[in-house]
Amino acid sequence: MTHSAAVLGGGIGGLAIARFLFRAGWHVEVFERSADLPTSGTALGMWPQAVDALDTIGLGDRVRALGSPQHRGSFLRPDGSVIGTVDSSARTAYLLSRPALLAELATSLPEGMVSFGTPAPPADALSDYDVVIGADGLRSATRRRLFGDGFEPVYTGATAWRGWVPGRRDTVSETWDAGALFGITPREGNLVNWFACVRTDPGSEDGLDYLRWRFGGWHADVRAVLDAITPDALLHHDLYESPALPSYVSGHTALIGDAAHAMAPNLGRGACEALVDAVTLGRFLASQNDIRESLRQYDRARRRVTQRLVLGSRAMASIAMTRHLRPVRDRTMKLAAALA
């Protein structure tokens, strides 16, 4: 008997689980309210676990071919002096923009499987499917339907700006200061990816002029990026994280990705964990006929580890932008880098 799945959301996690289940012989329908795939977005770090997940759904080689390999990263002070370096050459990570990754995932699916510009069907219609997968992101309506309004995302205390500028870069750096940080990475297409984060109240409308004022006294690499930024390649949004859910499943519905565990970006794991969620859930669903037991196994496998990553991302943000413990932070980073 062919099983059926409704995937609510056509982002990274939603398209990945659709790909997995389609390859396993399931009938899959993806409902995505946006009219099309995004054409803008910054680079995502595909850590080894995420690349393994992409290998599982047959897309790992494409990501390796398109992405920028990441072997070494540096943590710097605003004057450019080094806090510590990390060597990841043992297992390579890859940097790939969100639009490029989504395009690879979408084109791997049969035509018509993803219904763009189509909100999720009403709850009573979803009972026609063997399983419903809530992959509808930070403001997940699926999560709200399952668990109510008490688990809405909370502001992390920081807002972020992200973008890309022309150029080439082989190394990754993140510069830390009290209440702020600035990162620079490679990106495919002869572009340099950058991101900035500042502790501030939510709802700030500050833009490029503010960035040049806030970071204009930092080291030469940061200043060069600031000089090259254009308003059309600038994204700005407040950062949120999810409260800990009591479960990632209810009935015949499961949550994956940001719908389950939105986290601050400081560990670079949000997109990665959505891919790992998708493959983990897909494996359990494809391995047996008992849907609800498969969902319980998925919850046991993924909830605790991802909720720890939410806490770890929050802690990393505190360490990077600490106002009072920078000497301790710097010594700790040097020790960690030496042991890596």
Q: What pLDDT is attached to residue 122?
A: 86
Query: Given its phi and psi angles, is residue 222 left (phi above 0), alpha (psi -120 to 50 degrees) or beta?
Result: alpha
* Angle at CA of residue 323, ends 321 and 325, nearest 5°: 95
DSSP state, residue 41: -
Closest alpha carbon to 320 in 93, 160, 154: 160
Burial of 125 from C-beta contacts in 10 A (0-12 / 13-18 / 19+): exposed
More confident residue, 23 or 338: 23
Q: Residue 313: which pLDDT band, with cuts at 50, 70 and 90?
A: very high
Q: Is the confidence at residue 303, as pLDDT, over 50? A: yes
Q: Is the confidence at residue 336, as pLDDT, over 80? A: no
Strands (E), 217-303: 234-241, 249-250, 253-255
Report all structural domains of the chain as residue ranges with CATH numbers, in order of start: 4-39+91-154+242-318 (3.50.50.60)
More confident residue, 302 or 89: 302
Q: Identify the three-state secondary structure at position 112.
A: coil
Angle between helix 270-287 and helix 291-320 axes, rounded to 10 deg: 170
Query: pLDDT tens-digit profile of 145-179?
Result: 999 999 999 999 999 999 999 998 888 999 999 99
Query: pLDDT tens-digit profile of 216-253?
Result: 999 999 999 999 999 989 999 999 999 999 999 999 99
What is the average per-residue pLDDT within 321-333? 69
Q: Which residue has the tokens 């997995």?
A: 20
Angle between helix 48-56 and helix 12-23 axes, rounded to 10 deg: 40
Question: Could you count the other beta carbons within 10 Å of the beta carbon of residue 128?
Answer: 10
Gap between the Cα atoms of 152 and 158, Å rounded? 17
What is the average per-residue pLDDT within 42-60? 95
Q: What pLDDT is attached to residue 329?
A: 65
Q: Residue 88: which pLDDT band, with cuts at 50, 70 and 90?
A: low
Share of the chain above pLDDT 90, in %: 78
Gap between the Cα atoms of 97 and 94, Å rounded? 10
- Amino acid at the residue 115: S
Q: Residue 254: which pLDDT band, with cuts at 50, 70 and 90?
A: very high
pTM: 0.93
Q: What pLDDT is attached to residue 337?
A: 47
Residues in the chain: 340
Gap between the Cα atoms of 47 and 309, Å rounded? 14
